[in-house]
Amino acid sequence: MTASDQTQAANQMWGGRFAEGPDAIMTAINASIGFDKRLYAQDIAGSRAHAAMLAATGILNPTDADAIGEGLLTVLSEIEAGRFDFRADREDIHMNVEARLTEIVGEAGKRLHTARSRNDQVAVDFRLWVRDQCDAAIAGLTALMRAFVAQAAAGADWVMPGFTHLQTAQPVTWGHHMMAYVEMFARDRARFVDARARMNECPLGAAALAGTSFAIDREMTAAALGFDRPTANSLDSVSDRDFALEFLSAASICAMHLSRFAEELVIWSSAQFRFVRLSDRWTTGSSIMPQKKNPDAAELLRAKLGRILGATVALFTVMKGLPLTYSKDMQEDKEQAFDAADSLMLGLAAMTGMVGDMTANREALRAAAASGFSTATDLADWLVRRLGLPFREAHHVTGTLVAMAEKKGVDLPGLTLAEMQSVHAGITDEIFDVLGVENSVNSRMSYGGTAPVRVREQIARWQAALG
């Protein structure tokens, strides 16, 4: 396209207000078609609903409305077939679609924009797209939760160490550890469900910022697009991006949870831990060290949080200083959201695959659970229950026994009864029942505890909930 053609195209778009066409650099910074073409399906759906409403209210004659509806379907098929010519001089997806529509149906295409603005048009397109991403995240999280529940069911009573500060703390079960992530990702799913419900209001009809003098039916377009109701304030309708911020915030928390388990997989699959084996589908080799099996998928998942959280901060920064209503700054809302959504969906799919494929090493888990004085708390609790010691005194006695075992190079069960009685004469041989890791986890019967019977109750609850 020549410079004169660009000038003519710009003048056609803006009418007689501007005598000169845009500078090439201005065109480059102003155009968003390079990324907002992803909104084509939502843009066409919104335009079809708008045209149908204009016809139903008598604002547009039925013949023109039918032509517009069919023409928009033609545009949709061209885009999906890869035959559509996206042009930067038409700036964005809205003008690209409308211009092509007018080429197809003629004068009727120019009537489509009656009683709307690009401000409410982009607001409804973007809201529809984010709503779709919420649905995708909800489905992805459901699949991931099912994978964790399956792992929990396979090893509900397998003993493993529980950690604080990445130091052995108390014995827990594999099933209990897996179910912790089910609860975590359930909260993520609930956040997306909640955000979706709050964003499900239709801004179409707010026009540029003040509404329109045409007798439109906003309830009709809202219903046609699957919204619960139209938005209640036209100023807020075109300037609101809370729905995108909520999606990004929920995505950031979810990605943080993915990152936490990815970190555990990196640690657990190491030669030092050997808690799990990741399948070849999610690992790579080394270019120089033939023995290596690197958990690259888990490591990349850790890094995805940075991109998603960065997108969240970026959009907050864009929005924080904007007066009502629309400002061109808001064109910068989409690339971050697109990238974050892509990263989140990829991360959910990858983690679901890794969790489904991983194999836990039951023997290594139990051996680690039995080391590191993991039943010290059980010993202290026994001293309180059986001997009536105040807990602080029992804590001191137990600490002395741990120091004795450490000096001797054994774990607590490796001490003799005589050695234990040298610290407190009231200790009996019943203590050795308490010091077994299986007995320890079986005793944790409080609601939400690690006892296998409690774990299986939670597994059954979630199996029923997830279907």
Q: What is the pLDDT of residue 13?
A: 54
CB–CB of 133/342 below 8 Å? Answer: no
Tokens of 68: 């517009």
| Local confidence band at 7 (pLDDT 50, 70, 90 cut-offs) | very low
Percent of the chain with pLDDT strictly greater than 90: 79
Is the pLDDT at 257 greater than 60? The verdict is yes
| Pairwise pLDDT comparison (323 vs 284), residue with the higher score | 323
Q: What is the pLDDT of residue 21?
A: 62
Is the pLDDT at 6 greater than 60? The verdict is no
Q: What is the pLDDT of residue 441?
A: 93
| Local confidence band at 17 (pLDDT 50, 70, 90 cut-offs) | low
The one-letter amino acid at 368: A
Tokens of 400: 């002395």
Cα dist from 57 to 117, 211, 419, whole Å: 18, 16, 92
Q: Which of 4, 165, 213, 446 is catalytic?
A: 165
Residue with tokens 């459901």: 142
Residue in 204, 202, 194, 203 with CA at minimum distance from that of residue 246: 194
Residue in 428, 431, 416, 422 with CA at minimum distance from that of residue 400: 422
Is the pLDDT at 246 greater than 60? The verdict is yes
What's the chain look like in SS3?
CCHHHHHHHHHHHHCCCCCCCCCHHHHHHHCCHHHHHHHHHHHHHHHHHHHHHHHHCCCCCHHHHHHHHHHHHHHHHHHHCCCCCCCHHHCCHHHHHHHHHHHHHHHHHHHCCCCCCHHHHHHHHHHHHHHHHHHHHHHHHHHHHHHHHHHHHHCCCCEEEEEECCEEEEEEEHHHHHHHHHHHHHHHHHHHHHHHHHHCEECCCCCCCCCCCCCCCHHHHHHHCCCCEECCCHHHHHHCCHHHHHHHHHHHHHHHHHHHHHHHHHHHCCCCCCCEECCHHHCECCCCCCCCCECHHHHHHHHHHHHHHHHHHHHHHHHCCCCCCCCHHHHHHHHHHHHHHHHHHHHHHHHHHHHHHCEECHHHHHHHHCCCCCCHHHHHHHHHHHHCCCHHHHHHHHHHHHHHHHHHCCCHHHCCHHHHHCCCCCCCCCHHHHCCHHHHHHHCCCCCCCCHHHHHHHHHHHHHHHC
| Local confidence band at 450 (pLDDT 50, 70, 90 cut-offs) | very high
Tokens of 261: 């388990």
Q: Note if 165 is an active site residue.
A: yes
Tell me the average pLDDT across 116-135. 98
Tell me the average pLDDT across 370-383. 84
| Pairwise pLDDT comparison (24 vs 244), residue with the higher score | 244
d(CA 105, CA 107): 7
Q: Note if 371 is an active site residue.
A: no
| Local confidence band at 226 (pLDDT 50, 70, 90 cut-offs) | very high
Q: What is the pLDDT of residue 373?
A: 78
| Local confidence band at 16 (pLDDT 50, 70, 90 cut-offs) | low
Is the pLDDT at 375 greater than 60? The verdict is yes
Residue in 459, 464, 466, 461 with CA at minimum distance from that of residue 179: 459
Q: What is the pLDDT of residue 65?
A: 97
Q: What is the pLDDT of residue 382?
A: 87
List, in order, residues 6 or more apart from 131 with CB less than 8 Å away. Answer: 196, 199, 200, 243
**Cβ-count burial 35-73 (b if 16+ within 10 Å, e if not):** ebbbbbebbbbbbbbbbbbbbeeebbeeebbbbbbebbe
Look at 151-165, 175-189, 264-278, 361-375 and tell me which has the smallest mean pLDDT: 361-375
Q: What is the pLDDT of residue 289?
A: 65
Total residues belonging to the chain: 467
Percent of the chain with pLDDT strictly greater than 70: 94
Q: What is the pLDDT of residue 4?
A: 46
Residue with tokens 């890869």: 82
Is the pLDDT at 52 greater than 90? The verdict is yes
Q: What is the pLDDT of residue 29?
A: 86
Is the pLDDT at 360 greater than 60? The verdict is yes
Is the pLDDT at 10 greater than 50? The verdict is no
Residue in 259, 247, 249 with CA at minimum distance from that of residue 133: 247
Tell me the average pLDDT across 397-423. 90
Q: Taking all residues of the chain, what is their mean pLDDT, rounded to a whole number?
A: 92
Q: Which of 77, 279, 286, 327 is catalytic?
A: 286
Look at 28-37, 96-105, 246-255 and tell me which has the smallest mean pLDDT: 28-37
Is the pLDDT at 106 greater than 90? The verdict is yes
Look at 20-24, 157-161, 273-277 and tell me which has the smallest mean pLDDT: 20-24
Is the pLDDT at 1 greater than 50? The verdict is no
Is the pLDDT at 245 greater than 80? The verdict is yes
| Local confidence band at 463 (pLDDT 50, 70, 90 cut-offs) | very high
Look at 137-141, 154-158, 417-421 and tell me which has the smallest mean pLDDT: 417-421
Instruction: Give the phi and the psi of residue 168 in degrees, each rounded to 5.
Output: -60, 130
Cis peptide before 377 (omega within 30 of 0): no
